Chains A and B, each alone.
Chain A
Amino acid sequence: MKRYLPALTAAALSVLLLAPVLATAADDEAFEKDAAYAEGNPPMVPHRMEPGATGDACLACHLEGKNGAPISPHAVRIDCVQCHGQGEIKETKNATGKKKKKQKEIK
């Protein structure tokens, strides 16, 4: 689990930032302000995913940025596929910038 620490830290930070917003009745005209700090829409996944992919599978790379994977800003949200769906699968470059011939199945 140690290997997860750094990115978990980032994740925890983002969660902490979001934590104090719980309110029942909001200041009614503050929608613009709310929208400014609301998270944007999540990107779709540009590589193949196993149908049974869970947080463990995704975070194996996205927690620390292994294999050139972007680091998740909220690794405590572990039902990743709830928001990130299967996107268009493009030919990808690997970490060294070399084009991969075939998209490897990510499990």
Chain B
Amino acid sequence: MDVSRRDFIKASAAAAALAAATGGKFVGSAEAAMDTSGLKWGKAPCRFCGTGCGVLVGVRDGKIVATKGDPQSPVNKGLNCIKGYFLSKILYGKDRLTKPLIRKGDKMVEASWEEAMTLIAGKFKEAIATYGPDSVAIYGSGQWTVFEGYAASKLFKGGIGTNNIEPNARLCMASAVTGFMTTFASDEPMGCYDDLDQGDTYFLWGANMAECHPVLFSRLIDNRLKNPNVKIIDFGTRHTRTSQMADQYIKFVPQTDLALMNGIAHIIVRDKLYDENFIKKHVVFKKGKTSIGYGLEDKFTFTDDPKPQTFDEYKEFLKLYTPEYVSKLSGVPVQTIEAVAKLYADKDRKVNSLWTMGFNQHVRGTWANNLVYNLHLLTGKICKPGENPMSLTGQPSACGTTREVGTFTHRLPADMVVTNPEHREKAAKIWGVDPKKIPAKPTYNATEMFRALDRGDIKVVWVQVTNPFQSLPNLNRYRKGARKGDGRFVIVSDIYPTRSTELADVILPSASWVEKEGVFGNAERRTQQWFKQVDPPGEARNDLWQTIELARLLGHGNLFPYEYVEKEMWEEYRLFNAGQGKDLAPYEDYTKSRGLRWPVVNGKETLYRYAEGYDPYVKAGEGIKFYKNKKDDGKAVIWARPYEPAAESPDKKYPFWLCTGRVLEHWHTGTMTGRVPELRRAYGAAVCELHPEDAKRLGIKQGSKVKLSSRRGSIVLTADLRGRGKAEKGNVFVAFFDENKLINELCIDAYCPISGEPDYKKCAVKLERA
């Protein structure tokens, strides 16, 4: 990078004098010409990703007319990414849904709320009476507010009596959850975003932060500009904008991250670079089952069988992963693996690992998470300012709602699970229901839920705040399943027509973002509240109201006896977290702050979990204590997890790896960003990134049409040989935001047996000229 620290400091010193003298014109702000007088301003977290940037929302005449990056927000300090700058336009697409719609044959016909909700309640009652409570389901998302998720969980688990509740976070963060639970016995990171400013060595594992977490990436880049010692090392299977700005890009063969991390651990152990004291005090060793399958069969189940190990047994396990062996598997040169291991272990370096979907959307996603924690636990680089492993999230409340409220089939709030009788007892007590009401057995993970709909085991499914019929893997099967008839009934609540509303029997028009009051929780445990600032258009209504209305019609209205719904629900929800190391503050505290990182005890937020002086649960003299892992005496677990191959690898017939993901301008399935003209113009359609040599061999040129096929589906895309992302040889990449190019039809619905999260990053495809 040309702009060095020295130049930066020199420049700062002469700032005032020269600024006046330059005489050049500055880049004007796009909003500068806009009259912002008379706007009423409020705060909200951004609607998009898990970073949780603060934004200021400017309202005039009942409409959002401007948004700005909130300079008071500790997350983004006034900066947004390009999506965030266009927040004011996401709610005002021309085709906004404003009335309930009911399917009459092939047509969707406008209806009143009463008519729609009565029909929905009738379908629920009928299915429950005929087939039992496990024939109805709700599928929500990491974009649910805490209230919406909490109400859905309470109604389905505590009222209807089924564990048929799942979020799309299962497709996104589930491996991070099982990683945290198996290593530390408590979900969510020990560190926080301050580590991005305070560390000096950053390993990115399969995370294109420059496009997917741009504001956090900017914090990294700022750090490097101020501290010449900072190194950013990007491990990836594709050369991205992140790779371009990193100090080093290390490409590896898909799936071999497992081998690489064991290889790094091998060198750390071989050369005795580990922190022996830390290990003695804070770590136990375990191994689990191997050859655990891929979840490809309907009703697949898996239970791990953890067995304790000694450090010596773990060393024995690592023997296989010599740099030579790992190099052969991964394609990473031996000397690079050696150098990386030494960087991880360097006592003078503050090391952070950052990852997101590369690890999580992985048929061994839980293992990948365990293995990265191993590196930090071996070297003792954890629970300290500026050195931590940090799992990034993709949705605004994947943490706050789905993980903390526990809107998964097996979970309850505050890390509790339905399989534990004490946990059910506690939940039932807070909810005021009979403990027998909450079933002890989890039902379906997200993929299995839609398999059950396809088979007909689930009859009624309500989809809220997400778009499964674009975002599920092996999409053809689940899209067809939804319209098989025979008593199946699909309800979709959304703000725009989507690839999911087109398969619905009833479409409900929802309120979004600042059209309702809400709370989101971001990736650094920061809980952020906002008030309603504008009315939703037409007859659109809050999803929270929709869920409570269904409860009322099903005779469960007593579960929601609130006047000020959000505030009272919050105070009730808080009872789950109190005293659990997950404490939340009273509602008012969030209305006044730019978010607080839990646990919040006596009004004080926690920057570093498990660390004395930061975490109020760690006693004086304990230093670091993984106190949530009671069964291992407050120690964390180093897991022996081997390399195992992907569910489907390239072969003669399908010779390419397919990886899917995001681009900067669009968020998720593009239903909101796709309605902003500027963002559509900046990035209009999904393309197929491929390597120029592969293209040449197949007679494909830049811009030619290519037919991309897997064993599950086939689409035609435009070839891109020199885009912002550059495919490695034998790999192709396609973004999943484009509703006209359903790339997920090609993806395999194989998942991590422990987390249930599908692998969207690896399947085999072939390419032909179209």
A contacts, CB < 8 Å to B:
1, 4-13, 15-16, 18, 21-26, 28, 30-32, 34-35, 37-44, 51-52, 54-56, 59, 62, 64-65, 70-73, 75-79, 81-88
Contact = CB atoms under 8 A, between A and B. Distances in A.
B592 A25 contact: yes
B584 to A, nearest CB: 16
A67 to B, nearest CB: 12
Interface string B3-30: 1100110111011101101101111111
Contact of A38 (B39, B70, B81): B70
B31 A4 contact: no
Contacts, number: 212
Interface in B187-232: 210, 214-215, 217-218, 221-222, 225
Main secondary structure of the interface of A (DSSP, over half): loop
B682 A79 contact: no
Contacts of B681: 86-88
Given A12-B11, A21-B71, A79-B245, A7 B22 contact: yes
Nearest to B12: A12
Residue with the greatest number of chain B CB neighbours at <10 A, chosen from A39, A56, A62, A64: A39
A35 B58 contact: yes
Given A43-B27, A76-B225, 7 more contacts: A4-B11, A18-B71, A24-B605, A35-B56, A44-B678, A71-B26, A85-B665
Contacts of B77: 18, 21-22
A34 B606 CA distance: 26
Contact of B56 (A31, A54, A59): A31
Nearest to B225: A76
A34 B70 contact: yes
A35 B244 CA distance: 34
A4 B29 contact: no
Interface in B13-65: 14-16, 18-19, 21-22, 24-32, 34, 36, 39-43, 56, 58
Main secondary structure of the interface of B (DSSP, over half): mixed
Given A9-B15, A82-B214, A82-B218, A44 B27 contact: no
Given A1-B7, A54-B244, A38 B22 contact: no
A51 B24 contact: no
Given A24-B594, A54-B245, A83-B85, A32 B41 contact: yes
A40 B26 contact: no
Contacts of B25: 65, 70-71
Interface residues of B, number: 77
5 contacts: A34-B56, A39-B78, A41-B67, A42-B27, A71-B27
B581 to A, nearest CB: 21
Interface in B567-616: 591-594, 596, 605
A101 to B, nearest CB: 23
Contacts of B67: 41
B16 A4 contact: no
A5 B683 CA distance: 34
B645 interface: no
B22 A26 contact: no
Contacts of B594: 23-26
A44 B27 CA distance: 11
Given A28-B592, A44-B678, A56 B218 contact: no
A22 B731 CA distance: 43
Interface string B417-460: 00000000000000000000000000000000000000000000
B31 A9 contact: no
Contacts of A4: 2-3, 7, 11
Contact of B82 (A13, A75, A77, A84): A84
A78 to B, nearest CB: 6
Contacts of A65: 24-25
A59 B41 contact: no
Contact of A35 (B29, B36, B596): B36
Contacts of A9: 11-12, 14-15, 18-19, 22
Contact of A55 (B1, B16, B26): B1
B3 A55 contact: yes
Contact of B41 (A8, A21, A26, A34): A34
A77 B3 CA distance: 10
Contacts of A83: 79-82, 85
Contacts of B682: 44, 85-87
